[in-house]
Amino acid sequence: MRNVAIIVSYDGREFNGFQSQPYGRTVQVEIETALQKLTGEDILLIGSGRTDAGVHARGQVCNFHTESSIPAERWAIALNTRLPKDIVVLEAHEVSLDFHSRRSAKRKTYRYSIDLAKFPDVFYRHYAYHHPTPLNVQAMLEGLRLLVGEHDFTSFTSIHSTKPHHIRTIYDVQMRQEGSILHTFITGNGFLYNMVRVIMGTLLWVGQGKLAPSEMTRILQGRKRSLAGPTAMPHALMLWEVEYAELQQSL
């Protein structure tokens, strides 16, 4: 028995999310199907976390157990020839048997992209949220920085969250503009259901001047979803990177 970790990018546009479910294409089922074709085994794929319908991934990490003797460096090319074009396996590594792509994850980074141009960039329309009216980016960054640290993020998760507690740590936040696209990067030890999207929906209120940056702290402390802003659109969100003690990625 071996344990193989793969780093996967996918264009979320035509998926009903990562995790297998009764309706629509999912990334998990597509990869499990490719693994079945390749090995003949029925393999369960473990992802570092779900991504919602429409959300993209640059560096999702998954692992699976197999009896196959295919060498680690052959998995990516062997899977890519059996996968649809909107999923690409970038790397594969043999890992210790107890590696678990969700439980072993140390840090995760998401990116959220906002197109600030008057008219949308046609080539980025599936990857950015178009916001043509002015945003106070400095105020957004100020508000975002108030979330860094260990907090109870109940206000910033869906009321449908099933987690036993909502304490998470945000390690780092960054905003970078490339042309008309404003990218926000949020790195933490884990993210609750819809957490990045609710943070971004609230930050958009800050950028629009509807909310002072300092209100982010009050919203955190209130621990009530209704205090925060709307859940921002999914198509602008991308799972950027997942980091592990064991896995050295070259992404």
Residues interacting with its own copies, by CB under 8 A? 9-11, 56, 58, 76-77, 80, 85-90, 119-123, 125, 127
Q: Which listed residue (11, 52, 86, 152) is catalytic?
A: 52
Question: Is 90 or 141 the residue whose CB approaches its own copies more closely?
Answer: 90
SS3 129: strand
Count the alpha carbons within 13 Å of 136 in the hemisphere toward its beta carbon.
Answer: 15
Residue 160 is which amino acid?
Answer: H
If the CB atoms of residues 59 and 213 are measured against its own copies, the closer one turns out to be: 59
State the nearest-atom distance from the C-beta of 75 to its own copies, in Å.
Answer: 12
Answer whether 242's CB lies under 8 Å from 48's CB.
yes
Give yes or no for a contact between 64 and 44, defined as CB atoms under 8 angstroms apart: yes
Min dist CB 164 to its own copies, Å, is 35
Burial 30-68 (b: 16+ CB within 10 A, else e): bbbebbeebbeeebebbbbbbbbbbbbbbbbbbbbebeb
52 has catalytic annotation: yes
Nearer to its own copies, 122 or 245 (CB): 122
Min. distance of Cβ 67 from its own copies in angstroms? Answer: 25
Return the active site residues. 52
